[in-house]
Amino acid sequence: MSTKKVSCGSRNYALESPREFDRLEKQSSFQGYSFDEDLADLPDLAESEHVASVLDAGCGSGQGTQILSRLYPTHQVTGCDRSEIRVEQARRKYAQDRIEFRVSNLLNDPPADYLTHQGIFSRFVLQHIEQCLQLDFIQGLYNRLTPGGWMRVVDCDGLLINLSPFPPDLMSATQKLTSQIGVDFMAGRKIPSLFRSVGLTQITCKVVPLVFFGAKMNQEIELMKERFQLTLPRMIEVLGSLQNAQDYQDRYLEGMASPGSIVVYNKFIVTGIK
């Protein structure tokens, strides 16, 4: 491991739990979070005599991997995730001839373990990579890509922060959470420059606002409750006690539910060619 990685630290996935599979499946079924527009208009891939494959990097439940296999019906599709539980759950639900699920930590796998792919898709993973390792993460994906291959990374900006009106009594705890919880709440906007830094070309960036207001807010409240439940242990560590963490969650959800409140995230869908 390099010195840089040691000083940067190694962070666990903030939402790790066997229940995360169900949360991801539910989230993808909700408006704004479905794979439809995230996987729309991907470049065509030529058939190849060599190992021709598409990678879903940080595949979670495996739903995106399965959709990719439908979009590329003559290609092998690999879904990889650092979580053994998630990979096991994905295999149980989405196993098929052309799909392989494998456990792989995209940051730490040695180059000898690299397989090259003609297309690489990664959704909602960058936000879980420490900022000081995000360039390494994107470089690692780039290294797995064959020349001429495409890469698409999708991530959001504004989670937790973009609630308005924001409860004033939660400001300082929110600052602590955003700096220590282990999620980069501004990951989306960083993708285009990271793509450029590793040498990807023909970069396109589509930004889709996810707006939760009025009746639509109920959907986001439901998802936020689940995120809060799964991150409770980390929130206790950051905020100092169970009571503090529970008070924060209750007040935040109250803020979301109050009439006139609005939540807006920006989803960045960024594509580049090697």
Ligand X SMILES: C[S@@+](CC[C@H](N)C(=O)[O-])C[C@H]1O[C@@H](n2cnc3c(N)ncnc32)[C@H](O)[C@@H]1O
Under the rule (CB under 6 A), what is the footprint of ligand X?
13, 24, 28, 58-60, 64, 81-83, 86, 105-107, 123-125, 128
Closest CB 214 distance from ligand X, rounded Å: 26
Return the CA Rg of the chain: 19
Closest CB 198 distance from ligand X, rounded Å: 16
Dihedral sign, Cα of residue 206, residue 60, residue 108, residue 11: positive
The phi, psi pair for 203, rounded to 5°, reads -75, 130
Looking at the Cβ atoms of 228 and 261, the one nearer to ligand X is 228
Residue with the shortest CB distance to ligand X: 60
Looking at the Cβ atoms of 99 and 125, the one nearer to ligand X is 125
Looking at the Cβ atoms of 130 and 247, the one nearer to ligand X is 130
Looking at the Cβ atoms of 235 and 261, the one nearer to ligand X is 235
Closest CB 187 distance from ligand X, rounded Å: 11
Looking at the Cβ atoms of 220 and 255, the one nearer to ligand X is 220
Closest CB 21 distance from ligand X, rounded Å: 9
Residue 183's CB: how many other CB atoms inside 10 A?
21
- Which three-class secondary structure state does DSSP give residue 243? helix
Ramachandran category for residue 52: left, alpha or beta (phi over 0 → left; psi -120 to 50 → alpha): beta
Q: Give the C-alpha separation, 35 to 29, whole Å.
A: 9
Looking at the Cβ atoms of 56 and 149, the one nearer to ligand X is 56
For residue 191, what are its two tokens? 């993708």
Looking at the Cβ atoms of 57 and 255, the one nearer to ligand X is 57
Closest CB 237 distance from ligand X, rounded Å: 19
Quick check: 134 and 187 in contact, CB under 8 A? yes
Which long-range contacts (C-beta less than 8 Å, at least 24 apart) are formed by 28-34?
28/61, 28/63, 28/64, 30/219, 30/223, 31/216, 31/219, 32/208, 32/210, 32/212, 32/265, 32/267, 33/210, 33/223
Closest CB 56 distance from ligand X, rounded Å: 7
Quick check: 60 and 89 in contact, CB under 8 A? no
Closest CB 256 distance from ligand X, rounded Å: 20
